[in-house]
Structures are given as structure tokens and as C-alpha cells.
Amino acid sequence: MASCHVRSVSLPSQASHPPAFSIIQQQLHDLKTAPQSAGSLRHNIINLKALSRCIDDLLQTQLSEQRSSPEPATRLAVETLLDASIKLLDMCSSVRDIISRMKQSMRDLESSLRRIRSDYSSQVDGYLVCRKGLGRLACKNIKIMEKSRWNYMSSEEEEKSSNMVGDLVSLLRGVEEICVAEFRAILCFVSAPRKPHYSVVSKLMHSKREVVEKGETRTATVVEKIDAEMFAIKSSKFVNAEQIGRLLRGLEGFGSSLDEAENGLEGLFRRLLRSRVLLLNILSN
């Protein structure tokens, strides 16, 4: 999974800021220190939604107040946040699209396995080809995210602004970096892993469902378990109902994770869009 490095945000006086500042700080800390794994996908989405909700509250109560008493740096701060918001919206939309296409491909395979009682190997091959293409697209998006550059206010510009504006931009910088890290983590989760060696797949077919990687034993991910079942079906001359049942159960579990991710990303996209509209309204005044 993707790792994330976010600089710590230091606020001069907690008493001079609304509670939302400290809440977002704590959420940033929790996301920074949380272990990144396939099993944390659902929690990542939930935490991002909670974080975006706090950001909405903060923008509504703080930046809106600048309309009545604007300062020179406020417009620059809002423009900075607007530039970041459009990039986050594009990233969120791209990740959501990949998740949706991955889910549809998987649903098609499920339906096919239930309807057609033969030629399982070709059905599996069709799914793997589609997933491989989506995996490449996911990797491409990850590289784009890694190369993305954010046009933040300079240190001198932050110093010229009020404590509130400067601290807000500094705080949201960390939020944006966390969002990008979580988007990357989601893409890493759903992207197709490297082609497994037979020894690894063989071990996955045993009850412990463990993988030995670089000398360390870890629990296999849901994607690796599904791959193991597919490999077994492709390599078997005779496929029994138990094998198909295991694969279908794995696909259903993976589908539930994708549903949660898609729904969470949809909610996050709407919140990011709402924040952008708010920033545009502030800038227009």
C-alpha cells in the first residue's frame, strides 16, 4: 500500500482557533499513524469522509467571515485552495471510475459463473484481461499522483497573512496530502498484483491462507486469495462445485469492499465539490 509523509501542522494558539482546527489536526495524526493495509480500506474511506465534513464546517465558519473583513492574503489563500480542490476532484473521480469498472467486471464474472456450467477457464481469462487493463490504469494514476505539484502559498506569503488564514492553508496542505495518499492506497488495493509463482499459489490453497514474502509470513489479501482460486480453476482438468463456490464467495467479499469504496468516494466527491463551490462564492465576493 502507499505510504504518506505529511509535515506536522503547528498552530500558535489553540485558544485562538475554533474547535474544528484541533479536530482536523487529530484526524490528520490518526490517518498518518494508521497502518496501511488492504484490510483498512473501509476505515480509510470513513476517515476521509469525516475529515471532509470537518473541512466543510471550518470553511463555512472561518473563510466566510473574511467576506466582511477581507485582507490581501485572503484572496491568494482561497485561490490556493481552489487550485488544490480541482486536483483532488479529478483524482477522486478517476479512482471512483476505476473502482466502478472493476466492480462491473467482477459482477459480470459472477453472473457468468452462475449461468454457464462449463468453460470456466475462458470466463476467468476474460476477467483477468479486464482486471489487468484496469491495473495498468491504476498504476498510471498512481504515478500521476506522485508527480502532482501543489501551488501553495510561500512561507513569506503565509507570514503576511493573518494567523487564521496562514494556519488554515497550512492545515489544509496536510489534508490534501493525506487525501492523495489514501487515493493511492485504494488504487494499490484494487490493482492486479504481479503474476504469482506456483509455490505461492499452492500455499494459498491451504487453510492458513498465508504468503511468504521476502522471508516474512503474512496473511494473504482478498485479491491474492481470489487469484489463487482462479489459478486452481484454470489449471484443473475438472472443476467441481466447491471450487466455484469458493471463488464466488471470494468475489462477493471483494465486491462488498468495492461497494464500500465506491459509495465512500461518491460521498467524498460531493463534499469536495461543495467545498469548491463555497470557495468560489467567497472569491466572487
Phi, psi of 4 (to 5 degrees): -140, 135
pLDDT of 218 over the 60 cut:
no
Whether pTM exceeds 0.85: no
The predicted pLDDT at position 159 comes to 53
> In the predicted model, what is the mean pLDDT of the chain?
75
Confidence class of residue 197 from pLDDT cuts 50, 70 and 90? very low
| Domain boundary assignment for the chain | 16-197+262-284
Q: How far apart are CA 221 and CA 279, in angstroms?
A: 40
More confident residue, 12 or 37: 37
Mean pLDDT of 18-40: 75
3-state secondary structure 5-52: CCCCCCCCCHHHCCHHHHHHHHHHHHHHHCCCCHHHHHHHHHHHHHHH
- Spacing of C-alpha 149 from chain mean position: 18
pLDDT of 77 over the 90 cut:
no
The predicted pLDDT at position 167 comes to 73
Q: Which of 8-12, 65-69, 109-113, 204-208 has the highest mean pLDDT?
A: 109-113
Question: Cell 467482477 belongs to which residue?
Answer: 106
**Tens-place pLDDT, residues 138-180:** 999 988 888 776 655 555 555 555 566 667 777 777 888 888 8
The predicted pLDDT at position 251 comes to 92
Confidence class of residue 208 from pLDDT cuts 50, 70 and 90? very low
The predicted pLDDT at position 271 comes to 83
Q: Which of 3-17, 58-72, 188-202, 204-218 has the highest mean pLDDT?
A: 58-72
